[in-house]
Structure 1
Amino acid sequence: MSHILIGVGGGIAAYKVCSVIRHFTEAGHDVRVIPTRAALNFVGKATFEALSGNPVSTEVFDDVDEVAHVALGRNADLVIVAPATADLMSRAVAGRADDLLTASLLTATCPVMFVPAMHTEMWEHPATVANVATLRERGVTVMTPASGRLTGADTGAGRLPEPTEIGLLGDLLLDRADALPYDLAGRRVLVSAGGTREPLDPVRYLGNHSSGKQGYALARAAAQRGAHVTLVAGATSNPGEPAAVDVVHIDSAVELEREMQARAVDADVVIMAAAVADFRPISVAGSKIKKGADGPAPITLAENPDILAGLVRARNDGVIPAATLIVGFAAETGDENGGVLDHGRAKLRRKGCDLLIVNAVGDGKAFGTEDNTGWVLTADGRETALPFGSKTLMASRILDEVAAVVPNGGRAADSDL
């Protein structure tokens, strides 16, 4: 059990934090909620107490005998501040201690994550930009907010990320305090995720068991490490799109190849995490295939393009910049010809990519699960084991390898900060 401190700022998105509290309490953690005075205008104290199972205070002079303004921050294993308003981040940067939340922030030595939410103009104001940069320089994680509907009719950057995403990144920081350095700023990262669906007729398709969770985890973590991320997503079981990520949806392998080739031209890093169907029907029936007295008609298959190898060829031919880092994935099983790593090494040689992530699959491994393990193989022969853990944790370790070798000074990227 970990001790989680959740600070709640005075913004309309405060109601979403109730789901974040539930995420951690249902995982068995001890959660203490510290709202600002303004936050209680949006969600009442009783709600926070009922969800956390702990008393709620806002003032430094509450529970003086327990020295709460020191004890809460000192004892925390993780602090999440959501919504982090422009005012609250400004006070944190200045080292203010005029309420229980800001005082607790001064005593916290654990990972701290601010989750901003505000109108676009406030998020992009030079004062907020400078405050966010200062917090990051001090080692604080500041999530890049989502874009979408704000209050009233306004739409733009500054929307609070979904509670599920906040919870996933909070879990990641509990697992690994240094998992989200801001080390990919200015980089353009292109990620593919999910399975492809190859149509047989208007209602049927050939596909695979890929959930897309690992690709989504990579896109989410890369965006929060500062990259401008585009995610090309096939069939997935993910409930929502990651904050600060541009998502392009595709169905078939041919569509995936087209999007990846077109977008890789502007990428510093390309990560092919999608599970591409090896074959597709040569012809697609215009109407639903019916059962017949003689049984099903044979289906003739054609081989799908090797998208990863095609990206490497495009780089060799100068279509994609030579400095672009290309990362592949290999879902392997052992057989009479070798083990998982043997097949992974052979695939790395065939594909010619810079990094290859090898996963053992089958028997409930990798596909559709919340956890993963594997190895990172590099073109120069290094092999690094990826310990078993959440797919978000695995994504952070893969991005460590990427950040260590991606060329410095990525292309200028449009960024929300």
Structure 2
Amino acid sequence: MSLKDKKIILAVTGSIAAYKTPQLVRLLVKAGAEVQVVMTEAAKDFVTPLALATVSTKEVFYAVSNGAHWNNHVHLGRWADVLLVAPCTANTLAKMAQGLCDNMVQAIYLSAACPVVFAPAMDEDMWLHPATRANVQQLQSYGHHLIPVESGPLASGLTGPGRMAEPETIAAWLEHFFAPEQQPVAIPPNTKALITAGPTYEAIDPVRFIGNFSTGKMGIALAEALAERGIPVDLVLGPSKESTQHPLITTHKVVSAREMYDACERLFPEAAISILSAAVADFRPQEAAAEKIKKGSEDTMQLTLVKNPDILAHLGAIKNAGQTVVGFALETNNELEHALKKLKAKNADMIVLNSLQEAGAGFGHDTNKVTLLSADGTQTALPLQSKKEIAKSIVDCVLALKYNNA
């Protein structure tokens, strides 16, 4: 297993989620890891050092100095293969971002010569606060890795995002992190991404429009997958009930194709990676009536449609050597042929081929099945899986294409 013989420091801070840490230690030890637990004094109010020492079979450290005994935080920081801060409170996030050193956890953090992973835990309003957003982004700019919070019941009695990921999720994340074939691509600092998602609505009159069945789920999953890799994302989202609260994602809401085009043109110059997953209407009514069109006595109504601007073609034409542009192709027949033509015609670096002929794929589903077509001729077929897993696979392929070939 990928955790066998790995040396893991688990830093526990003062959150109610600390009650989950004995189970987390059990899972890591069972997977073959050697786990050294350290704690803040506040964490001892939620879980005892004795409980964690029992499951880890190691003394738990919670003070740099304990009487005549000095705990060598520099040695510990160099001993570990990874430092995992879980749960990581809003207070600890802020201290890590600012480099404060007033407890054993912070002393080890500032001495760590290994990758740092943090799993936040706090209430919804704290998680969504701009200060927390800035602190998460600061830690990720240091190269640290975020294990995203989950949504559900919170200690305050509210329900929403802020829960620490479950122990099983954290253990699986670490196994994925240490798997040789899954080592993260080195992403340059200040990398930004642009994602389009959802449908566009093209007005016929003030109450009617031309649209499609896109929900925006795939695009939001892509934005979250990029953000989890530490990349700030501008999400241009058409009219959709879906949303995201990830602190590294800035959502720009639009309605029409022309609004989406304008937003993309404004944001594109700063984007190293652009993934255009929105289902943009190809045509719009030439004129939108100022008032609701009455039915009248006629049996038919004629609409004159004009082409909308082609966002993928435009960005493909103006991209520079440092920018990667990925498009989506939703096809109903001759899928591969049409997608390859689109890849070349739009000057894209990759096309994600999505077929409506596949059961469980396309609009309205929580699953998808796609094939990735790269400009270098590579074709990668991904099996039917959740859109979140598909998004992670697409992001892995895009990052490998961009940075491994750089």
125-134 or 248-257, larger mean C-alpha shift: 125-134
The residue number in structure 1 matching 2:184 is 181
Rate the CA distance shift 1:298–1:376 in 2: closer, same or farther, 3 A. Answer: same
The residue number in structure 2 matching 1:243 is 247
Unaligned regions of 5+ residues in structure 1, if any? 1-5, 22-34, 46-57, 72-90, 97-105, 316-320, 411-417
Unaligned regions of 5+ residues in structure 2, if any? 1-9, 24-38, 59-70, 137-145, 152-160
Rate the CA distance shift 1:9–1:113 in 2: closer, same or farther, 3 A. Answer: closer
Asked if 2 retains the 8 angstrom alpha-carbon contact of 1:185 and 1:226, the reply is no
Matches for 1:56-95 after TM superposition, within 5 Å: 58-62=47-51, 67-69=54-56
Q: Partner letter of residue 59 of structure 1?
A: T
Secondary structure at the residue paired with 1:247?
strand
Deviation at 1:197, TM superposition (A): 1.1
Q: Deviations over 1:144-203 (max 9, x none)?
A: 999x9549x985535897633776998698488247937435211111111111111222
Q: Deviations over 1:70-126 (max 9, x none)?
A: 59xxxxxxxxxxxxxxxxxxx9x8798xxxxxxxxx9x99x9685644257535302
Q: Distance in 1 between matches of 2:233 and 2:109?
A: 20
1:265 lines up with 2:269 in the alignment: yes
The residue number in structure 1 matching 2:396 is 400
The residue number in structure 2 matching 1:87 is none
Asked if 2 retains the 8 angstrom alpha-carbon contact of 1:200 and 1:283, the reply is yes
Asked if 1 retains the 8 angstrom alpha-carbon contact of 2:351 and 2:372, the reply is yes
Rate the CA distance shift 1:95–1:218 in 2: closer, same or farther, 3 A. Answer: farther
Match among 217, 223, 226 for residue 221 of structure 2? 217
The residue number in structure 1 matching 2:99 is 126
Q: Distance in 2 between matches of 1:394 and 1:227?
A: 18
The residue number in structure 2 matching 1:252 is 256
Q: Partner letter of residue 177 of structure 1?
A: H
Q: Distance in 2 between matches of 1:284 and 1:353?
A: 32
Secondary structure at the residue paired with 1:199?
strand
Give me the TM-score of the superposition, normalised by structure 2: 0.66
Q: Deviations over 1:321-347 (max 9, x none)?
A: 33211111111122xxx2x22221122
163-172 or 397-406, larger mean C-alpha shift: 163-172
Rate the CA distance shift 1:404–1:132 in 2: closer, same or farther, 3 A. Answer: farther
Rate the CA distance shift 1:180–1:219 in 2: closer, same or farther, 3 A. Answer: farther
* Root mean square deviation of aligned Cα: 4.5
Secondary structure at the residue paired with 2:270?
coil
The residue number in structure 2 matching 1:79 is none
Q: Partner letter of residue 118 of structure 1?
A: A
Q: Distance in 2 between matches of 1:140 and 1:373?
A: 33
Asked if 1 retains the 8 angstrom alpha-carbon contact of 2:286 and 2:305, the reply is yes
Secondary structure at the residue paired with 1:240?
coil
Give me the TM-score of the superposition, normalised by structure 1: 0.65
The residue number in structure 2 matching 1:193 is 197
Q: Distance in 2 between matches of 1:169 and 1:233?
A: 33
Matches for 1:225-374 after TM superposition, within 5 Å: 225-315=229-319, 321-334=320-333, 338=334, 340-361=335-356, 364-374=360-370
Aligned-residue sequence identity (percent) comes to 30
274-283 or 120-129, larger mean C-alpha shift: 120-129
Deviation at 1:294, TM superposition (A): 1.8
The residue number in structure 1 matching 2:381 is 385
Deviation at 1:211, TM superposition (A): 1.3
Asked if 2 retains the 8 angstrom alpha-carbon contact of 1:272 and 1:328, the reply is yes
Instruction: Tell me the matched-pair count.
Output: 330
Q: Distance in 1 between matches of 2:232 and 2:371?
A: 26
Q: Distance in 2 between matches of 1:376 and 1:189?
A: 19
Q: Deviations over 1:197-227 (max 9, x none)?
A: 1111222221111111111111111112121
Q: Distance in 2 between matches of 1:143 and 1:191?
A: 25
Match among 136, 150, 173 for residue 163 of structure 1? 150
Secondary structure at the residue paired with 1:177?
helix
Deviation at 1:361, TM superposition (A): 1.9
Q: Partner letter of residue 50 of structure 2?
A: F
Deviation at 1:304, TM superposition (A): 1.1
Rate the CA distance shift 1:312–1:332 in 2: closer, same or farther, 3 A. Answer: same
